[in-house]
């Protein structure tokens, strides 16, 4: 598969993840009477990955996440020379997704049942301390993002192993992302994905950009550790599959 097609797939897939996941938080999570809440947002993120894994997994592997790409490189599942272009494509897709979401969300003029949109309210950005939904500290946010990304990459590595049942990886990965959102949204709004964090942060600016470093460092550390760990602990002479 030409690299250009893989990168196009990653742009589209990451656009869908940010637009669908963050869009559910911005547009639907707190909507009066029919708001989807934390559980709904968690499933929205999981469903974006599940649907795109079936749509583009056979094209690019459906990483949609710089941490996943680097974790798969560490785990021997993805060529290191493609990591930079993949990450660039993912960031472009995330910014585009956040941009379209901003245009839609800013069209709200408010009414008797909903407040007028204000990007300063967070725009689904990730944060810690006073910008954490549950006011969790920087250390708590750092630990949560490392551990939850480690778990997510482990699920990806296991579900896409050549020895795993075929055809079910997107379901396991999508539900895995749903689960870690259920755990992590109160702590940081949950990132485990530097591109997902970057898109909304660029529109919020200020504190969101100042805290963005954590949502690059922690997911990448967690994913790389998981890639090395799975490769050393669970893979023997057999080469595992590389696609979702």
Structural domain that includes position 140:
3-109+123-234
Taking residues 112-120, report their average pLDDT. Answer: 66
Q: What is the pLDDT of residues 193-206, one digit of tens each?
A: 999 999 999 999 99
Distance CA(15)–CA(83), nearest Å, equals 18
Please report the pLDDT score of residue 238 as a whole number. Answer: 52
Distance CA(195)–CA(197), nearest Å, equals 5
Please report the pLDDT score of residue 116 as a whole number. Answer: 66
Query: Does some domain include residue 89?
Result: yes
Query: Does some domain include residue 242?
Result: no
Distance CA(195)–CA(77), nearest Å, equals 20
Query: Does some domain include residue 115?
Result: no
Distance CA(85)–CA(7), nearest Å, equals 7
User: How far, rounded to the nearest angstrom, does the alpha carbon of residue 48 sit from its chain's CA centroid?
Assistant: 10
Query: Does some domain include residue 241?
Result: no
Give the sign of the dihedral formed by CA 237, CA 149, CA 143, CA 219.
positive
CATH of the domain at 30: 1.20.1080.10
Number of domains within the chain: 1
Nearest Cα residue to 51 out of 86, 23, 13, 25:
13
Distance CA(124)–CA(105), nearest Å, equals 12
- Asked if 64 and 14 count as a contact pair (C-beta separation under 8 A), the reply is yes
Quick check: 114 pLDDT over 60?
Answer: no
Q: What is the pLDDT of residues 6-35, one digit of tens each?
A: 999 999 999 999 999 999 999 998 776 668
pLDDT band for position 108 (cuts 50, 70, 90): confident
Element (H, E) at 162: none
pLDDT band for position 124 (cuts 50, 70, 90): very high
Taking every pair of Cα atoms in the chain, the longest distance, rounded to a whole number of angstroms, is 64
Query: Does some domain include residue 240?
Result: no
| 48 backbone dihedrals φ, ψ, rounded to 5° | -65, -40
Nearest Cα residue to 182 out of 217, 152, 213, 215:
152
Distance CA(226)–CA(72), nearest Å, equals 9
Query: Does some domain include residue 78?
Result: yes
- What are the angstrom distances between the C-alpha of 88 and each of 14, 47, 85, 93, 191? 11, 23, 5, 9, 17
Quick check: 2 pLDDT over 60?
Answer: yes
Please report the pLDDT score of residue 109 as a whole number. Answer: 74
Counting residues of the chain whose pLDDT is more than 70, the rounded percentage is 92
Please report the pLDDT score of residue 242 as a whole number. Answer: 44
Q: What is the pLDDT of residues 41-66, one digit of tens each?
A: 999 999 999 999 999 999 999 999 99
- Asked if 226 and 150 count as a contact pair (C-beta separation under 8 A), the reply is yes
Please report the pLDDT score of residue 122 as a whole number. Answer: 77
- Asked if 209 and 201 count as a contact pair (C-beta separation under 8 A), the reply is yes
Please report the pLDDT score of residue 107 as a whole number. Answer: 87
Mean pLDDT of the chain: 92
Please report the pLDDT score of residue 33 as a whole number. Answer: 66
Please report the pLDDT score of residue 244 as a whole number. Answer: 40
Query: Does some domain include residue 228?
Result: yes
The DSSP 8-state label assigned to residue 165 in this structure reads P
Please report the pLDDT score of residue 41 as a whole number. Answer: 96
Distance CA(216)–CA(147), nearest Å, equals 14
Nearest Cα residue to 220 out of 153, 171, 172:
153
Query: Does some domain include residue 50?
Result: yes
Q: Average the pLDDT over each of 34-38, 42-46, 140-144, 217-221 and give the range with the smallest value.
A: 34-38
């Amino acid at each position: 598969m030409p690299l250009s097609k893989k990168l196009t797939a990653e742009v589209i897939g990451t656009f869908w993840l940010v637009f669908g996941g963050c869009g559910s938080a911005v547009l639907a999570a707190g909507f009066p009477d029919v708001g989807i809440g934390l559980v709904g947002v968690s499933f929205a993120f999981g469903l974006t990955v599940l649907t795109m894994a079936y749509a583009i997994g056979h094209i690019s592997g459906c990483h949609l996440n710089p941490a996943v790409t680097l974790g798969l490189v560490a785990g021997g599942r993805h060529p290191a020379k493609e990591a930079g272009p993949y990450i660039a494509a993912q960031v472009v897709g995330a910014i585009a997704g956040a941009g379209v979401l901003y245009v839609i969300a800013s069209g709200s003029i408010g009414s008797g049942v909903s407040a007028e949109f204000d990007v300063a309210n967070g725009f689904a950005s990730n944060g810690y301390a006073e910008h954490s939904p549950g006011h969790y500290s920087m250390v708590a946010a750092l630990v949560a993002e490392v551990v939850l990304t480690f778990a997510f990459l482990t699920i990806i590595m296991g579900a896409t192993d050549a020895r795993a049942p075929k055809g079910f990886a997107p379901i396991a990965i999508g539900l895995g992302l749903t689960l870690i959102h259920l755990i992590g949204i109160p702590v940081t709004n949950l990132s485990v994905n530097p591109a997902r964090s970057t898109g909304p942060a660029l529109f919020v600016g200020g504190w969101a950009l100042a805290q963005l470093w954590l949502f690059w460092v922690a997911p990448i550390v967690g994913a790389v550790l998981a890639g090395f760990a799975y490769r050393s602990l669970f893979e023997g002479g057999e080469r595992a599959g590389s696609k979702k």
